[in-house]
Amino acid sequence: MNYIEMKSEIDRLKKEKNAIIIAHYYMRPEVQDVADYIGDSLGLARTAAKTDKQMIVFCGVDFMAETAKILMPDRDVLIPYSRAGCFLADMIIPEELNEYKEEHPNVPVVSYINTTAEIKALSDIICTSSNAVNVVKSLHTKEVIFGPDKNLAQFVADQLPEIKFHIWEGYCQVHERITVQSILEIKKRHPDAAVVVHPECTPQVIRIADFVGSTTKIINYVKDSDKKLFVIGTEIGIAHQIRKKTSGKRIIFPKATPLCYNMKTITLPRVLSALKKDQFKVSVDKKTAEKAKIVIERMLAVS
Ligand code: SF4
């Protein structure tokens, strides 16, 4: 089946099954092009929470699909590849978090949305990269446990010096690979380029950036800026929407291209199979889901 045939079969099945396809910006371009909604973690969670469709085909990694299932337990949430995991989400497990909480009694836990349902259920609130500062502020606390991304934690901590942060030592290997040197090499050749990075990048990279923001904010920044050339410090999948939404702008990615293999496991044939065979259904243990839902809804209320 060629691309056009696959796309038309996906469209047909979508109608037949009353399904919506939602996709993260890090998806392959051809997957983004069959999606009804493309966005960052916050946008995806919001979209999942308000859709009237019976089936949600979630083109992203497992914690994202789990979040959709938690918010919409009566819907069929499908992930096209059952092993699309997240390196960062795997850097914290419930036993470790429980131990850490015991070491820091009465300190609220803010978890990044890039966590399993179990970790969300053990947290007080979750956040995304676009609302993390407001989420922490909303707690009116003097201390906070923030995890699992140490870089995002540091980025938020720097903006809220009055709060003591207990930072989990996790990171995303895709953003960690973006180095100051690789950015400066590009700047040497293109001194006018604006450096635009995601807060999962290291503090050293963030320090030399002109703008730091979530994927949605990065796209909007490039769109609205007077600059013509941008060094992009996040996963390469974002290039597709930047190119579609901006014209006359050029983007360059640092060497050792930031590419998330887990995100790229979602292919168009797998999206088609998901719709054809109703696979792979996402399920979350009921008790865990109930606790995690409260925590996710707290974040949505802050946003
Ligand atoms: S880019 Fe990083 S945080 Fe995002 S899914 Fe891939 S490994 Fe996880």
- Token match 């938690």: residue? 70
pLDDT given at position 36: 98
pTM over 0.75: yes
| Single-letter amino acid code for the residue at 119 | I
Q: Lay out the sheet containing 55-59: strands in order across.
A: 37-39, 19-24, 55-59, 76-78
Correct CATH for 89-172+290-302 of 3.30.1020.10, 2.40.128.90, 3.40.50.10800, 3.40.1480.10: 3.40.50.10800
pLDDT given at position 157: 98
> 178-257, which class in CATH?
alpha beta
- Residue 247: how many CB atoms within 10 A of its CB? 7
pLDDT given at position 220: 97
Closest CA to 113 of 124, 123, 127, 125: 127
- Residue 57 has phi, psi (to 5 degrees) of -95, 110
CATH 3.40.50.10800 in the chain: give the residue spans: 3-84+263-283, 89-172+290-302, 178-257
Minimal-distance CA residue to ligand 1 atom 5: 86
| Single-letter amino acid code for the residue at 13 | L
The CB of 235 under 6 Å from ligand 1? The reply is yes
Helix boundaries (H) for the chain: 3-16, 29-32, 41-50, 62-71, 94-103, 117-121, 132-138, 150-159, 173-176, 180-189, 203-207, 215-224, 238-245, 261-264, 268-277, 286-302
Q: 69-103 pLDDT, tens per residue? A: 999 999 999 999 999 999 999 999 999 999 999 99
CATH no., domain 3-84+263-283: 3.40.50.10800
Q: 240-299 pLDDT, tens per residue? A: 999 999 988 999 999 989 999 999 999 999 999 999 999 999 999 999 999 999 999 999
Q: How far apart are CA 149 and CA 162, in angstroms?
A: 20
Q: 181-220 pLDDT, tens per residue? A: 999 999 999 999 999 999 999 999 999 999 999 999 999 9
Ligand 1 pocket test, candidate residues 174, 178, 265, most atoms within 8 A of CB: 174
**Ligand 1 midpoint to CA 150 (Å):** 14
